[in-house]
Amino acid sequence: MKKYGVKYRIGSVAEAGSNKQLTPAKLAANDTAADSTSHEAFGDLIPYADPSWYQGYHSPYYNETHVALRQEIREWVEEYVTPNIEDWEEEGKIDPAIYKQAGELGILTGACGLPEFTTKYSTKRLKSVKPEEFDAFHELVIVDEICRCGSGAFAWFLLGGLGIGLPPLFNFGQEAVKQRVIPGILAGDKRICLCITEPDAGSDVANIRTSAKKTEDGKHYIVNGVKKWITNGIFADYFSVAVRTGKPGMGGISMLLIERTFPGITTRKIKTQGMGNSGSTYIEFDNVKVPVENIIGKENQGFKVIMSNFNHERIGIIIQANRFSRLLYEEAVRHAHRRKTFGKRLIEHDVIRNKLANMAIRCEGVHNWLESLVYQTTLMDSKEAMFRLGGAIAGAKALATQTMELCAREASQIFGGLSYTRGGQGGVVERLYREVRAYAIPGGSEEIMLDLAMRQALKVHEVLGSKL
């Protein structure tokens, strides 16, 4: 009807509650716009619980492949993931078979955000989108839909190491190493993680201490040091590791791919407030002998590799935090329609609607900024994106995690004691509340992000000719 109906329509339709008439010409114009930018409504249509394009709003960012991919990922999550989240939470571990399944279905490949993987290093394919059609918004859809399971621990179990540990190797590693390592990772047979943070160096990346010294014959590096809070480290077969090969500061850092099979590596799981199944790990490197071929990038230029990875990592955090914010809001809306106090449903109380409105407007603000930033990444080359988008992405990350914290608090207030109990009606709220800090701190703490957002904006606009 959208495509052909206008041509055969006769008469006019009055807008409800208005004397205005929608003429055939206006309807034709509206339908043309709908053809190119809107899609059939999807989901339960709870206002603001999904991105606006799920609910029939117009958007320039999505086409039919995104619509099909959304359905593909949702079906997988609803059948194989969400029903098991509570059990995995109680057991303290996630069935590793789900990781292998995600590899076989091409989900791991798509979630990396690097479409070249699908043709060069993997035969695994998503059903709904061809490799040549894949763009950054397909990755957004994959991560967003996975997070509808309501567990950051699962999102990080699946994507936490892969999404930040693999891009440095892909973008800067030596081809022979990539050919040997990447196919197994994308198939779901092997796992990788990123090792930057140390007990005394988190956001202050330039001051890492883990050392890598060349042997006399120049064929190996000998690595000594520790890394902490490394997501997926306990599961990993490969570690993309920041090491010091030169002078103090950012100019003396390199990146190495260290393999689990190398002697001298010890990993120990860290118990955390939330995200227990994400595999947060304490790693020790004791005289680990690493072939020089395993260097990622060039010696003493590893800081560039690290910085090039941050935009993608932070966008991933924004996607996840925003979906969890929506999920907290959605849980609160559903509960507010069920629960009665003082003779009426919670949703009928002004104070409850005020809480929900404050949650909703922030979710929408974050998502629209997110889409704008993702769109910029599709048009800018990596150098321009690092220069112009780094500060904005940092600011968006801070806003996204602050929004998640607000939504967690307000959802908990609406649920009351139910959100203080694991499992049951308030189980999702309780779980996500424990995971808030895992989004506010890693990838750059909110304080660092806000400072970076302003410093970078001033720097960029000075170059652009700002009159300050």
The pLDDT tens digits of the residues spanning 53-95 come to: 999 999 999 999 999 999 999 999 999 999 999 999 999 999 9
pLDDT for 15: 38
DSSP letter string over 409-462?
HHHHHHHGGGGGSSSSTTHHHHHHHHHHHHHHSTTS-HHHHHHHHHHHHHHHHH
Give the separation between CA 413 and CA 409, rounded to whole angstroms. 6
Residues 47-54, mean pLDDT to the nearest whole number: 96
**Rg (alpha carbons) of the chain, rounded to whole number:** 24
Q: Which residues, 6+ apart, have CB-to-CB distance to 74 below 8 Å?
A: 145, 148
Q: Is 5 exposed, middle or buried (0-12, 13-18, 19+ CB in 10 A)?
A: exposed
Tens digit of each residue's pLDDT (9 = 90 or more) over 201-224: 877 888 899 999 999 999 999 999
Per-residue model confidence (pLDDT) at position 112: 81
Query: pLDDT at residue 416 above 70?
Result: yes
pLDDT digits (tens, 9 = 90+) for 230-285: 999 999 999 999 999 999 999 999 999 999 999 999 999 999 999 999 999 999 99
Residues 6+ apart with CB under 8 A from 73: 107, 141, 142, 145, 146
pLDDT band at 149 (very low <50, low <70, confident <90, very high): very high
Determine the pLDDT at residue 74. Answer: 97
Q: Is the pLDDT of residue 14 over 70?
A: no
Mean pLDDT of 18-24: 39
What predicted TM-score, i.e. pTM, was given to this entire model?
0.90
The DSSP 8-state label assigned to residue 224 in this structure reads E
Residue with tokens 């109906």: 5
Q: Which two tokens stand for residue 159?
A: 């994507």
pLDDT-based confidence at residue 115 (cuts at 50, 70, 90): low
